[in-house]
Amino acid sequence: MSTSEVTELIHQLQSGAMNLEQVAERFRRRTWARARTPQPENDEERAEQLDPGLPVAGSIDDVTAAYDCGELTVTQYQVLSEAVAESIRREVCRREQRKQAG
């Protein structure tokens, strides 16, 4: 099984090669794979979302899996999850700005 950039960064954190803020900063700067589909528009799409499917490598799923396996503390998980959210919010804002400009 190959590892994603996200799992590699988490391993760097665990080994002490990087500190929490360094990993969080890398998380803020990267583009994240979509782990979930957009808001469902009909009953069929809503039903599909009840089945979460397989984890998506390179997404928040990697961070959650590391926490679930005890590889991250609560504080580390909170900091890294927020860094992911910041990156995604920034990406959404850029997309919206491009839509408005184009």
Q: Which of 48, 54, 12 is nearest to 33 (CA)?
A: 54
For the chain, give the number of residues: 102
Domain that holds residue 82: 5-36+43-101
Query: What percentage of the chain carries pLDDT values higher than 90?
Result: 59
Encode pLDDT of 9-41 as tens digits. 999 999 999 999 999 999 999 999 876 666 778
Query: Region 71-86: what's the mean pLDDT?
Result: 97
Domain total of the chain: 1
Alpha carbons 12 and 6: distance in angstroms, whole number: 10
Is 0.85 topped by the overall pTM?
Answer: no
Query: What confidence score (pLDDT) does residue 1 get?
Result: 37
Q: Which of 30, 77, 81 is nearest to 58 (CA)?
A: 30
Buried b (16+ CB within 10 A) or exposed e, 92-102: eeeeeeeeeee
Q: What count of other Cβ atoms lies within 10 Å of the Cβ of residue 88?
A: 15
